[in-house]
Amino acid sequence: MTKIIIDHRERKSGIVEEFEKHGIETEVRQLISADFVLQTKNSKNEIHTIGVERKTQNDFINSIMDRRIITQLNMLKEHFSIPLLIIEGDENLYALRDFHPNAIRGMLASIAIDFQVPMLYTKNYKDTASLLAVIAKRIEKGKHHISLLDRRKPLTLKEQQEYQIESLPGIGPNLARSLLKHFGNIQAIVNASEEDLMNVDKLGPIKSKKIKEVLNSVYRPDSN
């Protein structure tokens, strides 16, 4: 069951009521770090604690100017297994203040690369509440296994043959088709000599030699 601990400074923001609409248990108290703490268990009964720093666009820029954002990010990283920064608002971030755009871009880059804290963007407090509710429920379900296998339509026999020949050095789709047309099948290509291979248009001595080297060399598992 998901529980969201909310910093007491967020009590009047309206976000507590929004969480209740999503059926999420909440607790308001003073937090040393983060504005929200999500406590939940996944399908394996493992506890996850997510620390969320929520900033309006203006507050985000202010925190860059006074360097407060750096302390807050460090505390998120130190205290929570999953840190998260939410920037709230739908205005042009670079036009809100008389502040050089590159300073904002530099901090965004630092958050992503140096601190490695994910950033998410929402329109308002209602959008923020909905996003955090989705995150909490997603963690409860656990991670979905993503298969590395290609699930596209199976290759035809012709495509499989072309694919095998294209794996040879210097052989693209057109040359693979030319080789198969000339020799008739893969076995005949494997058995062909360098001279036989050079009878195919655009297949010179260098490519022929490399092909035969790949096909005839002894496999050495410890070599690079």
Query: Mean pLDDT score of the chain, rounded to an integer?
Result: 87
* pLDDT band with cut points at 50, 70 and 90 for residue 16: confident
Least confident of 55-59, 97-101, 107-111, 141-145: 141-145
CA distances for 15 relative to 6, 29, 94, 126, 159, angstroms: 9, 14, 26, 7, 56
Q: What percent of the chain has pLDDT over 90?
A: 56
* pLDDT for the residue numbered 37: 92
Q: Which residue has the higher pLDDT, 20 or 28?
A: 28
The yes-or-no verdict on residue 111 having pLDDT over 50 is yes
Tens of pLDDT, residues 149-185: 444 566 789 988 998 999 998 898 899 999 999 999 9
Distance between CA atoms of 76 and 186, rounded to whole angstroms? 59
Ramachandran assignment for 152, one of left (phi > 0), alpha (psi -120 to 50 degrees), beta (any other) = beta
pTM of the model as a whole: 0.61
Domains, in order of start, for the chain:
3-141 (3.40.50.10130), 157-214 (1.10.150.20)
**At residue 217, does pLDDT exceed 80?**
yes
pLDDT in the model for residue 172: 87
